Structure formats: structure tokens, C-alpha cells
């Protein structure tokens, strides 16, 4: 019985070997692919997706360069409207990048305030966004009557400057209908008045622009005093 069992086993193995030798490549494929199969295109797409870097996988210095490109060199105009306002696609702007994910917001939320200039036609100290405390450059445009109330010589008017503790540069644009000489001197007088009584430690850059005439003083308050207000208390600084 033992000898017969060995013979039966050998015969079965020979039959399986014969069938394997006679099978075609298509038969092998049919036997080896059961159920869903992954095509070569699927594999290529998977490899491509794994190899393609995402924004957050880029080195930090490259991300910073991109942030500078997106947010830098922009003048952000601050306007106040008297009705409910809802942004639409026509109002898309770079700030939308900050809403993509938590990490991008953490890395870049301060950059729009520090890299760009904020332009005001009218300014109200009420409900000032916290981010404005980071602003380094502001632009004031003399296109309408109330514009220069932002720096009128009274305590309430100084809220604008006190709302910007990081302020370094002030640009004042005068419109064509204004007396350049008077407004020019007025703006500088207002600046000195504020520096004298409330911000002696500040040293701002002041630029006044009227048509093609530009007057600019770079970070030297004492120079403003000497040139424009002889006899002013700060003249001895």
C-alpha cells in the first residue's frame, strides 16, 4: 500500500507539471490577477503624486520667498462701507492664502501688515483691527475734505498714530485742489506737535507728495524741526 501511494503522488505531480508547461502567458495572468487590478497608469499616477512636493514640504526659506512675493509690494486700501458687505469672486486677493490651513496662517499672518503699506482715504479709530498694530507704513490721500482729520491738532486726532505702534513711514498725498505750501507746512507741524508731546522716542520717515513734487525726510525728526519750524522747542535736539 505504501508503494502504491508513492506512485499515485508521483503521477499527480507529473500531471500538474505537464499542465503548467502547456499553459499560455494569458492563462498565468488570469490566474494571478483575481479581482481589481492596478494598471500601469495607476502606478505612474501614484508615483507622481508621491514625488511631487507640496507647498508645506518646501524648505522654510523657499516658503518665505513665496510669502514675500505674494504679500510684498501691496498697498492695502482700507475703506468703510455703510452696508453689509460679503466678498465675492471679484474681490479675491492674496489674503485668502491665510485661510488655506492653520500652518500657513501661523507662518504668514503678520506679513501683510509688515510688508505692505496701508492706504486710508478716511480713518476712524473705532474698531481698529489688532493687526494694524504691526503696520509699518501708512498712506494718507487728500482726496476729500475729512481726510486730514486723521492728524488734526487735538487729542482725538492723534489716535491714528497711537494705533500704529510699529509705524516707521508716513506718506501724505495732497490733491490738486489744496494749497501745497500751506498743507505741506501743516502736515509737518502736526507731525512735530505729536512727536513733541506724545512720542519723543519715535523717529519716522515722512514723505509728502503733491503732483510731481516730493519732499521726503528719512528717519530724522530733528531735521524736520530745524528746516521747517525755527524756534520750535525741538529745534535744540
Predicted pLDDT of residue 147: 41
Residue with cell 492706504: 119
Count of residues in the chain: 237
Other CB atoms closer than 10 Å to residue 122's CB: what's the count?
Answer: 16
- Give the confidence band of 28 by pLDDT, cuts at 50, 70, 90: very low
Q: Residue 181: pLDDT above 60?
A: yes
Residues 164 and 197: beta-carbon distance below 8 Å: no
Task: Give the residue from 226, 150, 147 showing the smallest Cα distance to 192.
Answer: 226
The secondary structure of residue 175, as a DSSP letter, is P
User: What is the Cα–Cα distance from 188 to 94, expressed in whole angstroms?
Assistant: 34
Predicted pLDDT of residue 144: 38
- Give the confidence band of 33 by pLDDT, cuts at 50, 70, 90: very low
What lies within 8 Å, CB to CB, of 112 at 6+ separation is 71, 74, 76, 94, 95, 98, 131
Q: Residues 53-71: what's their mean pLDDT?
A: 87
- Give the confidence band of 79 by pLDDT, cuts at 50, 70, 90: low
- Give the confidence band of 172 by pLDDT, cuts at 50, 70, 90: confident
Most confident of 76-90, 181-195, 205-219: 205-219
Residues above pLDDT 70, as percent of the chain:
32
- Give the confidence band of 154 by pLDDT, cuts at 50, 70, 90: very low
Q: Residues 170-180: what's their mean pLDDT?
A: 66
Q: Residue 153: pLDDT above 60?
A: no
- Burial class for 156, CB neighbours closer than 10 Å (0-12, 13-18, 19+): exposed
- Between 145 and 122, where is the model more confident? 122
Predicted pLDDT of residue 133: 80
What lies within 8 Å, CB to CB, of 131 at 6+ separation is 109, 110, 112, 113
Would you call 49 helix, strand, or coil by DSSP?
helix
Distances (CA, A) of 180 to 4, 151, 217: 120, 17, 17
Predicted pLDDT of residue 202: 63
Amino acid at each position: 500500500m505504501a508503494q502504491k501511494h508513492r506512485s499515485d503522488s508521483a503521477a499527480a505531480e507529473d500531471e500538474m507539471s505537464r499542465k503548467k508547461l502547456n499553459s499560455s502567458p494569458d492563462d498565468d495572468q488570469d490566474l494571478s490577477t483575481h479581482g481589481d487590478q492596478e494598471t500601469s497608469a495607476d502606478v505612474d499616477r501614484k508615483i507622481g503624486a508621491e514625488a511631487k512636493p507640496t507647498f508645506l514640504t518646501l524648505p522654510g526659506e523657499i516658503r518665505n520667498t513665496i510669502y514675500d512675493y505674494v504679500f510684498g509690494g501691496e498697498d492695502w486700501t482700507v475703506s468703510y462701507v455703510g452696508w453689509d458687505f460679503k466678498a465675492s469672486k471679484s474681490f479675491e486677493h492674496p489674503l485668502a492664502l491665510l485661510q488655506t490651513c492653520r500652518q500657513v496662517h501661523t507662518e504668514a499672518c503678520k506679513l501683510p501688515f509688515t510688508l505692505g503699506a496701508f492706504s486710508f482715504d478716511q480713518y476712524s479709530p473705532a474698531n481698529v483691527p489688532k493687526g494694524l498694530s504691526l503696520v509699518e507704513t501708512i498712506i494718507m490721500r487728500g482726496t476729500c475734505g475729512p481726510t486730514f482729520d486723521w492728524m488734526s491738532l487735538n487729542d482725538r486726532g492723534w489716535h491714528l498714530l497711537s494705533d500704529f505702534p510699529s509705524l516707521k513711514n508716513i506718506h501724505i498725498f495732497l490733491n490738486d485742489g489744496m494749497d501745497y505750501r500751506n498743507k505741506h507746512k501743516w502736515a509737518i507741524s502736526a507731525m512735530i506737535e505729536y512727536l513733541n508731546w506724545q512720542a519723543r522716542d519715535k523717529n519716522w520717515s515722512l514723505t509728502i507728495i503733491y503732483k510731481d513734487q516730493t519732499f521726503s525726510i528719512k528717519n530724522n525728526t530733528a531735521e524736520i524741526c530745524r528746516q521747517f519750524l525755527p524756534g520750535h522747542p525741538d529745534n535744540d535736539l
